[in-house]
Amino acid sequence: MKLIAIDWMFISGFFAVTLAVGVVVTRLASRSASEFFLSGRTMPWWLLGTSMVATTFSTDTPNLVTDIVRQNGVAGNWVWWAFLLTGMLTVFIYARLWRRTGVMTDVEFYELRYSGKPAAFLRGFRAVYLGVLFNVLIMASVTLAAVKIGGVMLGFSPLKTIFISCLVTVVFCTLGGLYGVLLTDFLLFIVAMIGSVTAAVVALRLPEVGGLAGLFSHPATQGKLSLIPSLGSGGAPAESLFVIVFVLPLAVQWWAAWYPGSEPGGGGYIAQRMLAAKNEQHAVGATLLFNAAHYALRPWPWIIVALASLIVFPELEDLQSAFPHMPAGIIKHDLAYPAMLTHLPPGLLGLVVASLIAAFISTISTHLNWGSSYVVNDVYKRFVKPGCSERELVMVGRVSTVVLMVLAAALALLLRNALEAFHIILQVGAGTGLLFILRWFWARINAFSEISAMVVSFLVALYFKSLHGRIFPDLRLAESWQFVIGVAITTAAWLAVTFLTRPTDEQTLRRFYALARPGGPGWRAVLKQARAEGQSLEEPGAPWNVPLGLLCMSLGCMAVYSALFATGCFLQGQYSPATLLTIAAAVAGFLLMRLWRRVAAG
């Protein structure tokens, strides 16, 4: 493939605009750590919501979807579609709570909620664990996708792709902080969506595919089109696919696992966006926009390209033959997405390459800013140099941004495919999700609960990924059952530790409750003791809004899932179910709007 002048115009123009935004907001972002990492807590819901969507639209996301569809069909996407439940729970219950805390990072929460040296240790260790180790793994997965795209579409070597993409991103991110990230994310999302839709249209117009009718009737795609897996579907063993990609994600995964962007109870860069909102209402609106766009708007262009790739490149050998210069170790199913993009004509090629660069920059810049915020606020400022100036904090943030990018680039050279990284992250977070949900509403949970959950989940993941095959070479466990076992062991461990260790200091619990006002029966003993001592922590007449939040969560999931599946049915020409699903989406949306005032009122 060769890019012509108009292609380079698209790409160079995009780079110029991105860097210009970073330069323009440099002075604003340099005023303080709060400005650099939270944009002064003045951001509107639509900008924050779009930024969340842009961040989760990464270079590895269409590759991951393609990997899933080629192996387990469209229904295989339930492994991430199920996280909508987590997202809607955050929208209607946790977004308001996070904004009330007023913290700069979600790990600063630990010293609000827990007490003493365990809380301080948890804050510092979690900052390094998530902000550096986990964050580097995530960015490495995204960079791996850039390596595959650069190799297939531009003929770049892995090192050349990493050097160019990471250099531009780290320069942009160190200049503008979160201001630059948010402003460019709005543009990046539009460019990325145009690129993904363009790629889908071009794929459908290929002679081998023959449009929508040809795509959905071709023998290569049969057995891959169902929205819900059946016991007779292909991919994984027929009798287990329904359980692996549908039952387990909906029954266990969404509440039991920590995954970036879909943390149970909110967290990570989603919490960062909520904390940057003008107020609680803008935090709720931002997360609602994010979940609607992420699950209902974006998947189908990727799915169409993935299905078309089954016709054009039905086997991995076809990919190897088409791209003999690519290292054999990274020829996996996720390579099929960039492979399909090689059919783009001049002009459109530059547009789609620019859209993929946009996806890469938006995701990496967010993770760099988010991870750096942990290093600055929860390590350097808290433990290394508590009395340092705001200017020094911003400088440390910029230096840590560069270091994180270098580490991620190095690790990217060791990974092989997107689905591999996805399963590693899920396994490491298995069993921690329920704790993140309950810690707001159950006062008995303490710092040792979280420490034990983090340690046990990591050790279980380490065992399955490194030791199980050596110790029991004849006992093979599917990754889904490894996940379930990890959830059970980790949950049992942190529950046992919770009851075996002392509760959080009473005064700390009261301060936290007065600040966040979570409510619920899990705080009854704390409130009763406070009243007995003449201290009232409750607002008179204030209702507990969690039941209303759960109702809104259900309606939100119904609206988004119905819209997602209605689109799929329309594309496949199944007009009767598509019409019914559209009506269901409209009814759920209407009911949600009727309840919105009560939700927004808190």
Residue predicted with more confidence, 459 or 426: 459
Q: What pLDDT shows up at residue 1?
A: 56
Q: How many domains does the chain have?
A: 1
Longest dimension (CA), the chain: 78
Chain mean position to CA 190: 19
**Degrees (nearest 5) of the Cα angle 446, 447, 449?**
70
Q: What pLDDT shows up at residue 68?
A: 92
Find the range with the poorest average confidence among 119-123, 270-274, 578-582: 270-274
- pLDDT beyond 50 at 470: yes
Question: What confidence tens digit (pLDDT) does each residue in 223-234 have?
Answer: 899 998 876 544
Q: What pLDDT shows up at residue 159?
A: 85
Tell me whether residue 583 is in a domain. yes
Find the range with the poorest average confidence among 72-81, 300-309, 426-435, 548-557: 426-435
Q: What pLDDT shows up at residue 418?
A: 56
CB distance 484 to 252 below 8 Å: yes
Average pLDDT, the chain: 86
- pLDDT beyond 80 at 148: no
Round to whole Å and give the CA distance between 205 and 401.
Answer: 42
Q: What pLDDT shows up at residue 11?
A: 79
The token duo for 482 is 């490894």
Q: What pLDDT shows up at residue 302?
A: 94
Average pLDDT over residues 55-67: 81
0.85 surpassed by pTM? yes
Average pLDDT over residues 100-122: 92
Q: How far is CA 385 from CA 118, 124, 376, 533, in A?
A: 20, 13, 10, 38
Tell me whether residue 567 is in a domain. yes
User: How many other CB atoms sit within 10 Å of the CB of residue 459?
Assistant: 16
Tell me whether residue 574 is in a domain. yes
The token duo for 600 is 């927004």
Average pLDDT over residues 511-522: 93
Q: Which of 148-152, 351-355, 517-521 is modeled with the greatest confidence?
A: 517-521
CB distance 153 to 341 below 8 Å: yes
Q: What does residue 345 show for φ and ψ, rounded to 5 degrees?
A: -80, 165
Tell me whether residue 569 is in a domain. yes
Question: What confidence tens digit (pLDDT) does each residue in 367-396 have?
Answer: 888 889 899 999 999 999 998 888 898 889
Question: What confidence tens digit (pLDDT) does each residue in 89-109 have?
Answer: 999 999 999 999 988 888 999
Return the closest-CA partner of residue 383 out of 594, 171, 55, 119.
119
Residue predicted with more confidence, 296 or 363: 296
Residue predicted with more confidence, 309 or 601: 309
User: How many other CB atoms sit within 10 Å of the CB of residue 542?
Assistant: 10
Round to whole Å and give the CA distance between 139 and 419.
Answer: 14
- pLDDT beyond 60 at 87: yes
Q: For residue 416, name the pLDDT band (cuts at 50, 70, 90).
A: low
Residue predicted with more confidence, 149 or 409: 409
Q: Which of 87-91, 238-242, 542-546 is modeled with the greatest confidence?
A: 87-91
Tell me whether residue 600 is in a domain. yes
Round to whole Å and give the CA distance between 481 and 249.
Answer: 12
Q: What pLDDT shows up at residue 234?
A: 47
Written as one string, the DSSP assignment of 126-166 is HHHIIIIIIHHHHHHHHHHHHHHHIIIII---HHHHHHHHH
Tell me whether residue 113 is in a domain. no
- pLDDT beyond 60 at 479: yes
Q: What does residue 323 show for φ and ψ, rounded to 5 degrees?
A: -130, 70
H/E segment holding residue 12: helix 5-24
Tell me whether residue 580 is in a domain. yes
Tell me whether residue 549 is in a domain. yes
Q: What's the CA dihedral at 380, 383, 388, 393 to 10 degrees?
A: 20
Q: For residue 238, name the pLDDT band (cuts at 50, 70, 90).
A: very low
Q: What pLDDT shows up at residue 513?
A: 94
Round to whole Å and give the CA distance between 17 and 7.
Answer: 16
Find the range with the poorest average confidence among 269-283, 306-320, 440-454, 459-473: 459-473
Percentage of the chain beyond pLDDT 70 is: 93
Query: How many CA atoms does the CB half-sphere of 52 hold within 13 Å?
Result: 36
Round to whole Å and give the CA distance between 371 and 349.
Answer: 33
Task: List the domain range (segments joined by +) for residue 577.
Answer: 543-602
Q: What pLDDT shows up at residue 212?
A: 93
